[in-house]
Amino acid sequence: MTASPLKTGSTIGILGGGQLGRMLALAAADLGFDARIFTPEDDSPASRVAAGATVAPYSDLDAVTRFASECDVVTYEFENVPAATAEAAGAHAPLRPGPKALAIAQDRLAEKTFANGLGIETVAFADVVSPADLEAAIKTLGASAILKTRREGYDGKGQVRITPEMLKGPGWAEKAFAAVGSAPSILEAFAPFVHEVSIIAARGEDGATAFYPLTENRHEGGVLRESRAPAAVSPATAKRGQEIARAMLGALDYVGVIGIELFELPDGRLLLNEFAPRVHNSGHWTPDACVCGQFEMHIRAVAGWPLGNPTQLAPAVMTNLFGEDVLAAPELAKEPGARVHVYGKRDLVPGRKTGHVTRVG
């Protein structure tokens, strides 16, 4: 059993070498920990700021075992960690957040069923494993809907928008199902939301919780562009956001930071869209505008330390930088009140996140 709280100088293992792993590794270093990264990618953004890295595929369970044996705790920066990898890591070091959160977050059907079981509303949905299921589901959910693969979709990938016009074409159900790779899917009713909001929250090993203010998010093509905090929502909606997060954290016996994406309806009701069992892009403003940001908060939680203070000190707007946008970093850095974050990606691929800027105050 690992000593809790972890002593400074302990090693925190992070599965995943992207920008979230990088910012977690920096926060770990700031508290005196050594971060070790496990990633299939050579020279990853996270490895370059960490104390050490293992480069191997996630399916290499011997490598995962050796890695976890060298760590005092293991966490992850992406939710599609294969179950066998999580299990191998968890056999040699505490895995935080635990396997339950990971399993539920990996499956949209399990996720929505879990939320509904806690009294958290979602859009209406149906299980779809064939074009015939899709046709039947459209009859109950209505013609405005989204077909999504149950697993491995992110940033709008693995999704097809169904419109009333589409249904007029012959073989529409076969085409739509083929467009998601004929994978087990769910059909979701289209949410008539006024805002997309999220709540970043945390739970410590001792069960203590912390909540950041609700954040309003603007997506384009299914990808987050901008987050504003605090979101312009009523006190009742803000309170409901916290209740949703509290219920989920407790039911998952969660340790770490969680990112919960919600749709706000015209009457202020919140529907759960999905959750990520990790730090979240819509929380990137928190290190710049709060007493304790989401990365430090997560490291504190997984290390068994007391949670930090999530109080927001100034309003903030976070804008993602994609591809070569990040080359403007020196210009952006001239702005008073702007904090620029560059992920150190070697290839500036168009459409891929390469940095962000937070405008504070």
Residue of 196, 216, 296, 325 interacting with ligand AMP (CB under 6 A):
196
Cα dihedral sign, 211-212-216-219: negative
Nearer to ligand AMP, 22 or 108 (CB): 108
Eight-class DSSP state of 285: T
Cβ distance to ligand AMP smaller for residue 196 or 325: 196
Q: Let me know if 316 is exposed, middle or buried by CB neighbors in 10 A (0-12, 13-18, 19+).
A: buried
Contact 46, 37 (CB under 8 A): yes
Q: Which is nearer to ligand AMP, 66 or 269 (CB)?
A: 269
What sign does the dihedral 341-326-215-120 (CA atoms) show? negative
Answer yes or no whether residue 274 interacts with ligand AMP by CB under 6 A.
yes
Say how many residues touch ligand AMP, by CB under 6 A.
Answer: 13
How far is the C-alpha of 96 from the C-alpha of 190, rounded, in Å?
33
Binding of ligand AMP by 146 (CB under 6 A):
yes
**What are the structure tokens assigned to 128, written together?**
């779809």
Contacting residue, 190, 226, 265, 268, with ligand AMP by CB under 6 A = 190
Token pair of 94 as six digits: 């505490």
Q: How many residues in total does the chain contain? A: 361
Selected range binding ligand AMP among 22-30, 110-118, 184-192, 327-335, rule: CB under 6 A: 184-192
In Å, the largest CA–CA distance within the chain is 64
Block residue for tokens 């990112």: 259
Binding region for ligand AMP (CB under 6 A) out of 91-99, 179-187, 190-198, 290-298 = 190-198
Q: Is 34 near ligand AMP (CB under 6 A)?
A: no
b/e 167-183 (16+ beta carbons within 10 angstroms → b): eeeeebbeebbeebeee
Over the window 66 to 105, marking each residue x when it contacts ligand AMP by CB under 6 A and - when it does not, the resulting string is ----------------------------------------
Residue whose structure tokens are 């020196």 = 330
- Please count the other Cβ atoms lying within 10 Å of the Cβ belonging to residue 160: 20
* Segment interacting with ligand AMP, rule: CB under 6 A, options 35-43, 83-91, 188-196, 230-238: 188-196
Distance of closest approach, residue 156 Cβ to ligand AMP, in angstroms: 4
- Tell the smallest beta-carbon distance from residue 143 to ligand AMP (Å): 13
- Binding of residue 191 to ligand AMP (CB under 6 A): yes
| Out of 156, 315, 323, 344, the residue judged to bind ligand AMP by CB under 6 A | 156
For 160, which DSSP code?
A: E
Q: Among residues 197 and 332, whose Cβ is nearest to ligand AMP? A: 197
Stretch in the footprint of ligand AMP (CB under 6 A) among 10-18, 63-71, 185-193, 304-312: 185-193
> Cβ–Cβ contacts within 10 Å for residue 267, how many?
7
199 binds ligand AMP, rule: CB under 6 A: no
- Site residues (vs ligand AMP, CB under 6 A): 123, 146, 153, 156, 188, 190-191, 196, 219, 222, 261, 273-274
